[in-house]
Structure 1
């Protein structure tokens, strides 16, 4: 990965942001409601939008994290300016690709607004395939065929699929039973886990990433599994492990499910603001390491690691 990063920086280091940014920016005004933003994110299949005032200045950003907070507090009807993140990290249109990569590495955000000399919004930069390849240290891992069956049908689920350490589920630091009967309850477990970790004094940036990734995993269980699910969290000295399991329909094609925008969610679920096809991609984006195990008819196991340092 380091070698790839060095090669990309050497060849493309001086390309300016304005040469590869997306000029067709989706944004909202501060007087929109959080519920309206939730619908925009669903329709546009994105995980966040800048908030811009009448003069074109970026005054905030609202993301899935803020949607989770509103779900937790029952404030979807309130205005965006009450729930947006006001301290926004923006890129200048003259910044180089090398500088952009450093910003992605530093903040772990999925997108950055781009402004001109006057601070006006002129574009947005996301993690496209190239940036994701050089900015993310470890992407998706999954197991095939006999190895996958060995794990799903054996007792290896009592160990971490990533670190190999024993996981005592009965002694998990946090546990939540996922109810799949009401799609509107999706995200309750993630909200409770977020509150639990903050009470444990876990770094807020780590908690933010855990909450977003867990929200996506929990929502997938509710929408796709057709069965109840279980959410476990294990806190170690240097990392947090989140495990989400269900015994439902399973994923027939993981590669296809990993593509952004691909979704098998029914129309009524989409109308509620879910099923935009960003679940697994967002889990991959916000976790440090991820394993997905599944077989048609045998459920899904998602394990994610978040390093505290």
Structure 2
């Protein structure tokens, strides 16, 4: 993303944030409970929401991190204004694309509320919004979709990396699209898969292995690929197969990447608790079989098998 923005921000520097921000903003009032916000984030698949007063002014922001702390301390029934972040960094509606990029570089947040001159909420902007605005003007959206179709339609990627059997992705029992623009969203797909498998009556010990391995694969997509990704899960009579794909940077040296502690995650990602270099080793450790297909600049496909019948090899 940084390389793309560096090349195009001079061309589109004066685009107003009002032109590419999300105007239909989800927000909450200060008197809502933390539990209610948790449900909103779950349903809308977002990592945080602004908090506004009755006049529409931004008075805080509450995120998944705040909710996790409340969950740990048994405070989900508390009011939002007791746990929200009150010192909120907002962007003025008359800011330009260049201004917005500087905000992201300075604060490293995933999103910013956009306010008018009266401090009232008028929108929200994410890195996704920036890239969509730029891509639309450069015609890259069509090229991205075309490349994705070429990759997914190739015979190699329509076959199992482990058995060689044809895979019908449209017939997957579970599917999740990975959003790589916000590191705080990493793991949501794995959590949803865990709930799905438990509802299917799969043994909890097996579900835990699937969830941990899938979580590691999903996090790798978010912090390393620079691309969106997808999670597919197929449930068989004797095994569960999970396949995680992305179309990003790829892995230049898989053997090196498999070593415990090896990581290419940037510092700001490590500060959030990711990028410890245990992703691929943990995926191998928790799955019964695993195959990785990757090449520099051509994305990564990870396929993992988890046997339902113990003792199967």
Aligned position for 2:206:
206
Q: What is the alpha-carbon root mean square deviation over aligned residues?
A: 2.5
Deviation string, structure 1 residues 209-266 (Cα, Å, up to 9, x no partner): 0000000000000000000000000000000000000000000000110010100000
Partner of 1:231: 231
Structure-2 change in CA distance of 1:74 and 1:201 (3 Å) = farther
Equivalence map 1:1-309=2 (5 Å): 74-79=67-72, 154-309=154-309
Judge conservation of contact 1:72–1:188 (CA < 8 Å) in 2. no
Aligned residues: 171
Conservation of the 8 A alpha-carbon contact between 2:210 and 2:286:
yes
1:202 is paired with a residue whose SS is coil
**For residues 303 and 256 of structure 2, what CA distance do their matches in structure 1 show?**
19
Return the alpha-carbon distance in structure 1 between the equivalents of residues 280 and 222 of structure 2. Answer: 14
TM-score scaled to structure 1, two decimals? 0.52
Deviation at 1:75, TM superposition (A): 2.7
Task: Give CA-to-partner distance per residue, 1:174-207, whole Å, 9 cap, x none.
Answer: 0000000000000000000000000000111100
CA distance in 1, matches of 2:66, 2:168: 32
Structure 2's unaligned 5+ residue stretches are 1-63, 75-150
Instruction: Say if 1:80 and 1:240 are closer, same or farther in 2 by CA, change over 3 A.
Output: farther
Stretches of structure 1 that go unaligned for 5 or more consecutive residues are 1-70, 82-150
Report deviation, 1:165.
2.3
> What residue is the counterpart of 2:6 in the other structure?
none
Task: Indicate the SS of the match to 1:167.
Answer: coil
- 8 A Cα contact 1:187 1:218, kept in partner: yes
User: Deviations for 1:94-132, whole angstroms, at most 9, x for unmatched residues?
Assistant: xxxxxxxxxxxxxxxxxxxxxxxxxxxxxxxxxxxxxxx
* Mapped contact 2:152–2:158 kept (Cα < 8 A): no
Asked whether the 8 Å contact 1:288–1:307 carries over to 2, the reply is yes
Alpha-carbon distance in structure 1 between the residues aligned to 2:307 and 2:210: 10
Helix, strand or coil: the match of 2:165? coil
| SS of equivalent residue, structure 2 residue 248 | coil
- Could you give the per-residue CA deviations for residues 109-167 of structure 1, whole angstroms, max 9, x where no partner exists? xxxxxxxxxxxxxxxxxxxxxxxxxxxxxxxxxxxxxxxxxx99941211111122221
CA distance, structure 2, for counterparts of residue 177 and residue 192 of structure 1: 11
Rate the CA distance shift 1:72–1:211 in 2: closer, same or farther, 3 A.
farther
Higher relative contact order (CA 8 A, sep 6+): 1
Which secondary structure does the structure 2 equivalent of 1:75 belong to? helix
Alignment partners' CA distance in 1, 2:199 and 2:268: 36
| TM, length-normalised to structure 2 | 0.52
Whether the 8 Å CA contact 1:161–1:303 is kept in 2: the answer is yes
